[in-house]
A and B are shown apart, each in its own frame.
Chain A
Amino acid sequence: DFILIRNPKHTPHSPSPIMFLHHSQSDTVSAAISHRIPSSVLPEELVGEILLRLPVKYLFQFKCVCKSWKTLISDPQFAKRHLRIKTTDNQMSVFTVLEESRIVSYRLKSLCENPSNHTPVTFSDMTNRDYRIIGSCNGLLCLLDREQRVRMCNPSIRFYSKKSPQPVSFSCNVEHCGFGYDEVNNKYRVLLVLINRRNNSCQTLTKVYTFGEDSWKTIQNFPLPCINPLNLSGKSVSGTLNWIVEKSGVSVILSFDLEKDTYNEMLLPQDDGGSICMLYVLNNCLGVCYNYEYFTKNNHWIAWLMKDYGDVESWTELIIIPNFRPTFFAVPLLISENDVLLANSLRPQLVVYNLNSGKFYHPSINVQLGVDLHIHRESLVLPPC
C-alpha cells in the first residue's frame, strides 16, 4: 500500500547482491555492473527511519506529501517509535503557567545558549480557569484547575482533552498530585490527594483518574507523610509516581505503581544531613539532589541518579559541585547535548550551569515563573480521553 517506487533488486538489510556471487564467481564484476540499478529512490523502511527523526511540526506538514505518509505519521505505533528516538535539544522546552491562565513555554536551546531576554511562547490562554500544570509525560501535559478538574493536552500537536472531570463535588484542597503513564495498559493516569477541612475535622481522600476510561477510583491514602512542601507533583518515571516522605525521622522515597495501584518505599542514596533533598527526572531516570545551604559547612550540591529504577544499588553520583555559587538551591530540569545543566533555582528562577567549565548564568526572564516548571519533550502522542 506504500506508493513509493520500489527498488526491485534492493532489499534492505539483506546481503543478496553479494549472495549472487556464488553463481557467477568467474565474472563477478561485469555481472555485478550489469545488475546495477539506479538508487535514487529510498525504500519505505528507510523513509520511516528518516521521518522518525523529524520534529513534530514538520511531520505534520509532511502529512500533505502523500496518502501513505499521512497514514504513517498518524499511526499511534509511529508516535511510540518517535518517542523512543533519542531526543535533540531542539525538541525540549520548559513549560509553566503564567498569570494563572496562560500556558507558556521556553525553548531549552535558547535558554541554554543565550542569557538575555527570553520571551515565552504562549500555547494557550484559558481565561477563568486558573490552571496549573501537574505533570509532563510523553509530550502530554496534565492540567489541574482550582475546582480540581483535570485535563490533558499535547501542545506540539495542539490537542486538548474535551472532558475536564472532577473527582469530588464538595470543596477541598489538593495536597499532592501526580501524572504518569502506565505502559502495561497504555493508560495515562492522574493521582490527587484531596484534603477536606470542615467542622474542625480533616478528611483525606486519594483519587486516581484514568484518561480514556472516564472514571475516578478511590485508593488507599499515602501510608507516610510527605515532607517537602515544594514537592507537590509526584515525579513520573517507569510507570510510577514518586515523592519524598518521612519514615521514623528518615527521608525515603514513596513510590506509587500506576499499573497496580500499590505503594512502595525506596531508600535514598544518602542521609539528607540537614539539606533540602528534591526528586527530579533526567533521561527517564529518577534522581535526587541535595541542596546544602550557605551557612552550613557542607556548602556543596550533589545530584544522584538511580540508573535502574527500583534498584537502590544503582544509585550513582551524577554531579557534585563544591561551593555551588549560583544559588544554594537547584533542582535539575535537564542536561543539554553540550553538558549544560538547566536547573530550577527558585530565586532567581533558573540557572544554566556549564558542567565542563563551571560557568553559569541566570537566563533573564521578565516574568515571575511558578514553582511548577515542567520539562516537555514534543511528541505525536494523541491519547484516548
Chain B
Amino acid sequence: MAEEVSSQMNSLSISETNPSSSATISLVSGDDIVFKVEPTIAKEMETVQSFIDETDGKITTIPLPNISSHDLPYVIEYCEKSIAGKITKEFEAEFVKKLNNEEVKELFLAANYLNIKKLLDFLSQVIADRIANKSVEYVRRYFGIENDFTPEEEAKLREELAWTFTGVDPDDEDEN
C-alpha cells in the first residue's frame, strides 16, 4: 500500500467557481509515495493539469513514475512559492543550496517532465552556473557524453582554444 505524505501547503486561492477542482490531488512518486496537494499546485505542473483537464477532473490520483519521493517535495515547494508570488532571489539561492549537482540534474528532469517552465528556466541557469569553470572531462561525465574526437582532433582544438582554458576548477566534486 502506498504511504501517504501530506505536503506543507499554503491554502491559497482555491477556485470557488468550480467546486470539484477543490478536491485534493494525489501525486504518486515513482517509489510509490503519495503526496496530497491542492489543485492550485497541480495547475503549476502543466503535465498534471492537462491530464486532470482531459479526464474532466474525475481522476485525482496521478502517478509520476519518473519522479522520486526525494525530488517531488522540492517541486511542490517551488510551486507553492510560485503561486504565492514569493519566488525571490533569496528563496532560489536557499532552495538550491541544499542540492548537489546530481540532485539539481534530477530536479531539472522532473521540472521538464512536469512541464514547469519557471522551474525549468531557473534550473537551467543553476546548472549553467555550476558547470561553468568545470573541466571538459567533468562536463562529459555530468551529461553522460562520450568523447568522439580522436586524440589528435582534440589536441588541435584545445590548442586553438587555449586562451579560454585559464582558471578551470579542479574536479573535486563530491558526486564524482
Which residues on B sit within 8 Å (CB–CB) of A37? 66
Are B158 and A13 closer than 8 Å at their CB atoms? no
Say which one of A61-69, A142-150, A235-243, A327-335 lies at the interface with B. Answer: A61-69
Which residues on A sit within 8 Å (CB–CB) of B147? 65-66
Which residues on A sit within 8 Å (CB–CB) of B139? 62, 65
> Which residues of A in the span 22-58 have a Cβ within 8 Å of any Cβ on B?
25, 28-29, 31-33, 35-37, 39-42, 46-47, 49-55, 57-58
Beyond A5-B144, A40-B105, A47-B143, whether A64 also contacts B161 by CB under 8 A is: yes
Q: Is A12 an interface residue (CB 8 A)?
A: yes
Which residues on A sit within 8 Å (CB–CB) of B28? 28-29, 32
Across the interface, A66 reaches (CB within 8 A) one of B108, B112, B129, B148, namely B148
Across the interface, A67 reaches (CB within 8 A) one of B51, B125, B149, namely B149
Q: Is A384 an interface residue (CB 8 A)?
A: no
Which residues on B sit within 8 Å (CB–CB) of A202? none
Minimum CB–CB distance from B130 to chain A (whole Å) comes to 10
Across the interface, B113 reaches (CB within 8 A) one of A5, A10, A51, A52, namely A10
Say what secondary structure dominates the interface of chain B: helix
> Which residues of A in the span 2-24 have a Cβ within 8 Å of any Cβ on B?
3-5, 9-10, 12-13, 15, 17-19, 21
Q: Is A158 an interface residue (CB 8 A)?
A: yes
Closest to B167 in A: A57
Are B161 and A4 closer than 8 Å at their CB atoms? no
Which residues on B sit within 8 Å (CB–CB) of A60? 161, 164
Q: Is B133 an interface residue (CB 8 A)?
A: yes
> Which residues of B in the span 32-83 have a Cβ within 8 Å of any Cβ on A?
32, 46-48, 50-51, 59, 61-66
Are A21 and B30 closer than 8 Å at their CB atoms? no
Are A46 and B108 closer than 8 Å at their CB atoms? yes
Minimum CB–CB distance from B47 to chain A (whole Å) comes to 5
> Which residues of A in the span 54-88 have a Cβ within 8 Å of any Cβ on B?
54-55, 57-58, 60-67, 69-70
Across the interface, B59 reaches (CB within 8 A) one of A4, A17, A21, A61, namely A21
Q: Is B86 an interface residue (CB 8 A)?
A: no
> Which residues of B in the span 2-42 have a Cβ within 8 Å of any Cβ on A?
2, 28, 30-32
Across the interface, A42 reaches (CB within 8 A) one of B46, B48, B108, B140, namely B108
CA distance in complex: A187, B160 (Å): 28
Most interface-central of B50, B102, B132, B161 (chain A CB within 10 A): B132
Are A42 and B143 closer than 8 Å at their CB atoms? yes
Most interface-central of A9, A57, A65 (chain B CB within 10 A): A65
> Which residues of B in the span 126-160 have a Cβ within 8 Å of any Cβ on A?
127-129, 131-133, 136, 139-140, 143-149, 154, 157-158
CA distance in complex: A57, B115 (Å): 30
Which residues on A sit within 8 Å (CB–CB) of B30? 32-33, 36
> Which residues of A in the span 239-258 have a Cβ within 8 Å of any Cβ on B?
none
Minimum CB–CB distance from A249 to chain B (whole Å) comes to 48
Are A64 and B149 closer than 8 Å at their CB atoms? yes
CA distance in complex: A189, B115 (Å): 41
Beyond A12-B112, A60-B161, whether A33 also contacts B65 by CB under 8 A is: yes
Q: What residues of chain A have their CB less than 8 Å away from a CB belonging to chain B? A: 3-5, 9-10, 12-13, 15, 17-19, 21, 25, 28-29, 31-33, 35-37, 39-42, 46-47, 49-55, 57-58, 60-67, 69-70, 158
Q: What residues of chain B have their CB less than 8 Å away from a CB belonging to chain A? A: 2, 28, 30-32, 46-48, 50-51, 59, 61-66, 102, 105-106, 108-109, 112-113, 115, 120-121, 124-125, 127-129, 131-133, 136, 139-140, 143-149, 154, 157-158, 161, 163-165, 168
Give me 14 A-to-B residue pairs in the complex whose CB atoms sit less than 8 angstroms apart, sorted by A's number: A10-B109, A17-B113, A18-B51, A21-B59, A28-B28, A37-B66, A40-B144, A53-B125, A54-B131, A58-B132, A61-B168, A62-B136, A65-B139, A65-B147
